[in-house]
């Protein structure tokens, strides 16, 4: 039997077709705004090869900067997403994130970011965001210091504002957190317990101030006595030495490896939050796995870094591409 479509039915079909087409455009646009490893393949194909030499030069002079840049990316992503807001200086009308409690006199590496941005702007002005520069610099720092390599997803845009209050309100887990707090803090950002432990392995590079570990080396019992005495020699109990530095990884502080986890097995975690990962809790087995299998740690670290870089990025027409990472356009 032949089928016939009335003019009114045809009109309905056309409207449905148009609606579906519009939906397709919307979803296609949304998809194209997502982060991808090839986002700059046409607009700035030399971005990665431009960033790497600047970092090699900086880390050859001060290897500690590698940990600083990795930490900058982390502190950026955990406060309102990976949007470069942590890089903004205070203005006459707004107070940014740099002087918030978890960041004040603690985060560093801004000059290197400035140098990278200057180099990238010469190659392709107004194209690459500061948020993406942080993500690329974090990856390259890990690689330069002997760690694993991965393809960085890019396409983030920069926030026009920063929030002092949001950087202060518990988004950034302090070194005093216990295991339950750590797990909850990372879960709130869409990261699993495994991601949290793997990302903590970033403490295999870098240093921290006496102020952050003083209580642990004098008052906690789950710490190797000789290790505690070593740290006490440069971190007095009551006065002075607040800014004195100690490596988070006592064995290879300038090399990205799995020694951090080996230290935890020997109760040589410098921060309270470090040793919480191996203190009779649910993450003990994972610490043992990473201490025995560096490949597993590397793979899980890569997975966690990519997931962290996906936290609430600005894409599409949101935000802007800053010309200077320290201030909005």
Q: Tally Cβ neighbours within 10 Å of residue 93.
A: 5
Q: Is 4 helix (H, G, I), strand (E, B) or coil?
A: coil
Cβ atoms of 224 and 264 within 8 Å: the answer is no
Q: Are 33 and 320 in contact (CB under 8 A)?
A: no
Q: What whole-number distance in Å separates Cα of residue 62 and Cα of residue 206? A: 11
Collapsing DSSP states into helix, strand and coil, what is residue 295? helix
Dist. CA 49–CA 31, nearest whole Å: 27
Q: Which of 73, 75, 203, 272 is catalytic?
A: 75
Residue 203: active-site member? no
- Torsion region of 100: left, alpha or beta (phi above 0 gives left; psi -120 to 50 gives alpha): beta
User: How far from 106 is each of 13, 126, 200, 212, 219, CA to CA, in Å?
Assistant: 62, 30, 17, 10, 23
Question: Which DSSP symbol is given to 250?
Answer: S
> What count of Cα atoms within 13 Å lies in the side-chain half-sphere of residue 143?
17
- Burial class of residue 218 (count of CB atoms within 10 Å of its CB; 0-12, 13-18, 19+): middle
Contact 275, 269 (CB under 8 A): yes
DSSP for residue 154:
B
Backbone angles phi, psi at 195, to 5 degrees: -60, -45
Task: Show which residues are catalytic.
Answer: 75
């Amino acid at each position: 039997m032949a089928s016939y479509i009335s003019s009114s039915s045809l009109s309905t079909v056309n409207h449905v077709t148009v609606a579906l087409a519009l939906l397709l455009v919307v979803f296609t646009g949304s998809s194209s705004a997502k982060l991808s490893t090839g986002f700059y393949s046409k607009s700035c194909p030399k971005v990665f090869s431009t960033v790497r030499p600047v970092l090699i030069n900086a880390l050859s002079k001060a290897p500690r900067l590698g940990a600083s840049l990795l930490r900058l990316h982390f502190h950026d992503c955990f406060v309102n997403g990976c949007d470069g807001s942590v890089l903004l200086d205070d203005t006459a009308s707004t107070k940014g994130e740099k002087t918030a409690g978890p960041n004040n006199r603690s985060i560093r590496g801004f000059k290197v970011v400035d140098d990278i941005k200057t180099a990238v702007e010469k190659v392709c002005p107004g194209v690459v965001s500061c948020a993406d520069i942080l993500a690329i610099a974090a990856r390259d720092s890990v690689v330069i210091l002997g760690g694993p390599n991965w393809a960085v997803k890019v396409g983030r845009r920069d926030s026009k504002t920063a929030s002092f209050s949001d950087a202060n309100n518990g988004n950034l887990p302090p070194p005093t957190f216990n295991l339950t707090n750590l797990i909850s803090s990372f879960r709130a950002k869409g990261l699993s317990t495994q991601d949290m432990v793997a990302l903590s392995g970033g403490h295999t590079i870098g240093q921290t101030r006496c102020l952050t570990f003083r209580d642990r080396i004098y008052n906690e019992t789950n710490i190797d006595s000789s290790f505690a005495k070593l740290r006490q020699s440069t971190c007095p109990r009551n006065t002075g030495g607040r800014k004195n530095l100690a490596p988070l990884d006592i064995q290879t502080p300038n090399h990205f490896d799995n020694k951090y986890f080996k230290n935890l097995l020997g109760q040589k975690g410098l921060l309270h939050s470090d040793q919480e990962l191996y203190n009779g809790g649910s993450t003990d087995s994972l610490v043992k796995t990473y201490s025995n299998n560096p490949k597993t740690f590397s793979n899980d670290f890569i997975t966690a870094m990519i997931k962290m870089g996906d936290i609430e990025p600005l894409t599409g027409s949101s935000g802007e591409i800053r010309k200077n990472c320290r201030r909005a356009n």
